[in-house]
Structure 1
Amino acid sequence: MLTVGIVDDNPLDLDKLELIVGKVATVELRLKANNAEEVYAFIQETPVDLLITDIEMPGMSGYQLADFIHLNNMSTSVIFVTAKSGYAVHAFELNVHDYILKPYNQERLVQSIERFTDKKEAGKITGRLFIRSGGDLVIIPKDEIIFLERTGRTTTIHTTKDIFESYQSLGELEGDIRESMFIRSHRSFLINLQYVKRFTEYSKKSFEVVFEGTSQKALVTKEKLKYLQENYF
């Protein structure tokens, strides 16, 4: 069962959230509030899996609440439901699950909740990747892979513990991984979304990907970033 909290200072919008969330059979609504301060106090004692919140509210904003969750590495994920589009880029820096603009329909929010449920149930990546590196066969646990990069004739695999090089193509290795959290972000990069920390603007057509666990960076196209917004974050 997915535990959820909802917060919005507008009573009608809050009731709409409650009505939609209540129709999702796999959800248990743990918290309904009209201000972020109440949620802030509650989740410190009883974290929820998912928090659905407005952004602009009197006192503490939904953005400040999400920032608190992010800075404290809490297990609660966030969906912003807001009438303001200007926070979208900053929202990605906080690794929010989704950003939904008002007015929205029931299907849009339910699909977002279901995507989060699928991602949560998938859990940790399992299995190992076998690569040819020089004359050796190297076995790498998939959950240690941060990203793969194609440079010239070789593919570099960045992991939490080491860096490996292989003459296998990125396409070949992508076929061997076949995990939902690995995404081809760019023609030269395959990234593990579990290690993504933030996206920063790099050029007119792409963003730079900053990861946990390495100072090395990857690239994501604007088109792919939009896809990630709609389906993963």
Structure 2
Amino acid sequence: MIALIDYGAGNLHSVHNALRQAGAQDVAITADPDAVRSADRIVLPGVGAFRACRDALVGIDGMVDALGEAVHARGVPFLGVCVGMQLLADTGEEFGSHPGLGWIPGSVSHIAPSDPAAKVPHMGWNDVAPAMAHALLEPGEAYFLHSYHFAAADPAHIAATTDHAGPLVAAVARNTIIGVQFHPEKSQRYGLSFLSRFLDWRP
């Protein structure tokens, strides 16, 4: 069973539909910590502000503990999407400094392109360039929509990058955890292929 965490994130149902299109047979949209504890895979979606998403996740009694038990104690494969990926960081700097889950060291700060003509938010199709050998990541183009980016403290956790008047982290990874800044559910063939690999992933 794939637990798709329901904490009010805006892209929940589109991620659910994409997982089904990618071949998932059993996807449970859930806010139940016990379901998360027993899941075979976990997906944390997310759209919006870091603080609002973090507060909503923490606001579900027992959810953060359940996520930690599943991912860290049992080694369940975990995918964070967009803000779901950003929540893996130590802190988010949107509207003040706010703690994240702290699963992958780093911070989430506003994009500051080297070229003032480059628009923020970073929106639309852009290259995904793998920065490590990872079973889930291939070169290609994916759909991005974000104004804040993940600055990983350890370059060894940067799984892929993209370019928007300078390099931005497109994916982070550590052990059984992967987070992607792009939206697989909006990335057509590339996104469905990525999700299909996630469904088969045996880290």
TM-score, structure 2 as length reference: 0.42
Which is greater in Rg?
1
TM-score, structure 1 as length reference: 0.37
RCO comparison, higher one (Cα < 8 Å, 6+): 2
**Which structure shows the higher helix fraction?**
1
